[in-house]
Amino acid sequence: MTVRPGIEALLARPPAWLRGRRFAVLTHAAATTRAGRSTLACLRAAFPERVAAAWSPQHGFYGVEQANMVPSADCREPVTGIPVTSLYGDRRRPTPEMFRDIDLVLADLVDVGCRVYTYIWTLTLVMEAAAEAGVPVAVLDRPNPLGGREIEGGLIDPGLTSFVGRYPVPLRHGLTIGELAQYLNVTHGIDCNLYVVPATGWHRAQYGDETGIPWCAPSPNMPTLDTALVYPGQVLFEGTTASEGRGTTLPFQLCGAPGVDPGALMAALDPLMMAGALVRPALFKPMFDKWVGEVCGGIKLQVTDRNRFRPCRAGLELLRGLRRLAGERCAWLPPPYEYEYFERPIDILLGRRELRAGLERGLPTAELTAGWAAEEELFAATIRPFLLYD
């Protein structure tokens, strides 16, 4: 069965609640139809007098800005001429004035199935502001590129919520953005008047490259599905002085630091934690970000068996190994990180301070993650009433 994103379902049969309303669109250029046409352009063509504004998440509408507190500016989208207001920077929540001339917010964002990816949290801020303004929100859903079967990672300690985890969600949450919006809206009291236009034809076992929907990079360092497959674990290196491969053509698939012996790192890894992946020794030289122009020793990570690979456990295992070999070249970075000015980046990425403490003590990854299974099962049970797909 053909998989169609929510934007195609809406255009094919506009719902009654859309009739006569002027709307803002929370979106970016990566949100497209199967034919590669942007959601914003499609809506402008179908409803030329009713698209009042567009709002963009982190990285800007065209995804040109780099990560971690690099703001994107307001602009005018050149193809449609629609004004785009940035929701990443000093303003991450819509102001009351932004709801003044609209009756609805449509949201179409390409998520990558990881709690750290900020687009889902921009959506929650829009939902909260819309609830206060009395304006409905409609999510045009699309498949989770990591599939919808696997959940991985513990929940967030209440004191460690942030813009990479505003609500307690595992690192790999296994939900579409529409399912997640419904779940958070009900269970965490957002109380937004929320509609979801489901994708059609998608099954939870399907990964992004099995849907027929072309991959459009949702951010500068998410060039391929291969990147997204490893991202839920490799993003942890953003909390360290080690390189997560930014500044190379293989962000997140590479990690390392200057002076690290790739062979020694390979030997330090627990094969059980790296199951389902091809791990190869690597030398690389970042052209920007950490260790610019310096040769880093490390590994290249490539998923070979999606059913066995557990990215969060693999990322922790690589982090444990690199800390042992690299010392201060894999130290914890201080704040700020994603507009959190007090907590360490690694703590809000992991969602647990005791995980950092365990890494500092050199505990095995299996011991560090021993409590995850119970929390993964609890989350799976809690979200079941909100699932839209088999």
DSSP 81-112: --EEEE-SSS--S--GGGGTT-SEEEEE----
Q: Are residues 204 and 229 in the same domain?
A: no
**Mean pLDDT value across the chain:** 97
Calculate the CA dihedral of residues 42, 71, 284, 294 and round it to 10 degrees.
Answer: 160
Instruction: Look at residue 369 in the predicted model and tell me its pLDDT.
Output: 97
Instruction: Break the chain down into helix, strand, coil percent, rounded to 5.
Output: 35, 15, 50
The answer to the question of residue 371 being in a domain is no
Is residue 1's pLDDT more than 90? Answer: no
Q: Please state whether beta strands 83-86 and 75-76 pair in parallel, antiparallel, or not at all (unpaired).
A: antiparallel
Q: Where in the sequence is the domain holding 27, given as residue range(s)?
A: 6-220+381-386
The answer to the question of residue 115 being in a domain is yes
Q: Are residues 276 and 289 in the same domain?
A: yes
pLDDT-based confidence at residue 127 (cuts at 50, 70, 90): very high
Residue 313 CA, chain-centre distance (Å), reads: 17
Q: Tell me how far apart the alpha carbons of residues 301 and 241 are, in angstroms, rounded to a whole number.
A: 19
Tell me if residue 352 falls in helix, strand or coil.
coil
Task: Quickly tell me which residue has 């698939």 as its tokens.
Answer: 253
Q: Are residues 242 and 272 in the same domain?
A: yes
Task: Return the amino acid letter for 284.
Answer: F
Phi, psi for 223 (deg, rounded to 5): -70, -25
Percentage with pLDDT > 70 across the chain: 100
The answer to the question of residue 359 being in a domain is no
The Cα-based distances of 101 to 21, 104, 105, 298 in angstroms read: 10, 10, 11, 53
Nearest to 2 by CA among 30, 35, 29: 35
Whether the CB-CB separation of 39 and 31 falls below 8 Å is answered with yes
The domain that contains 110 carries what CATH number?
3.40.50.12170
Nearest to 163 by CA among 343, 377, 376: 343
Q: Are residues 277 and 156 in the same domain?
A: no
Q: Are residues 111 and 213 in the same domain?
A: yes
Q: Tell me how far apart the alpha carbons of residues 100 and 389 are, in angstroms, rounded to a whole number.
A: 35
Tell me if residue 351 falls in helix, strand or coil.
coil
For the stretch 356-371, pLDDT in tens is 999 999 999 999 999 9
Is residue 279's pLDDT more than 90? Answer: yes
Q: Tell me how far apart the alpha carbons of residues 212 and 44 are, in angstroms, rounded to a whole number.
A: 24
Q: Are residues 122 and 245 in the same domain?
A: no
Q: Are residues 209 and 260 in the same domain?
A: no
Mean pLDDT on 268-297: 98
Which DSSP helix (H) or strand (E) runs through 138? strand 137-140
Q: Are residues 295 and 334 in the same domain?
A: yes
Mean pLDDT on 374-379: 97
Q: Are residues 47 and 196 in the same domain?
A: yes
Nearest to 269 by CA among 259, 257, 281: 281
Q: Is 134 exposed, middle or buried (0-12, 13-18, 19+ CB in 10 A)?
A: exposed
For the stretch 95-120, pLDDT in tens is 999 999 999 999 999 999 999 999 99
Is residue 195's pLDDT more than 90? Answer: yes
For the stretch 38-49, pLDDT in tens is 999 999 999 999
For the stretch 245-264, pLDDT in tens is 999 999 999 999 999 999 99
The answer to the question of residue 358 being in a domain is no
Tell me if residue 297 falls in helix, strand or coil.
strand
Q: How many domains does the chain have?
A: 2
Q: Are residues 236 and 115 in the same domain?
A: no
Q: Tell me how far apart the alpha carbons of residues 61 and 55 are, in angstroms, rounded to a whole number.
A: 8
The domain that contains 261 carries what CATH number?
3.90.1150.140
The answer to the question of residue 363 being in a domain is no
The answer to the question of residue 156 being in a domain is yes
The answer to the question of residue 45 being in a domain is yes
Biggest alpha carbon distance in the chain? 64
**Which pair of tokens denotes residue 7?**
């934007």
Q: Are residues 101 and 31 in the same domain?
A: yes
Instruction: Look at residue 346 in the predicted model and tell me its pLDDT.
Output: 98
The answer to the question of residue 170 being in a domain is yes
Q: Are residues 168 and 260 in the same domain?
A: no
Q: Tell me how far apart the alpha carbons of residues 258 and 139 are, in angstroms, rounded to a whole number.
A: 44
Instruction: Look at residue 383 in the predicted model and tell me its pLDDT.
Output: 98
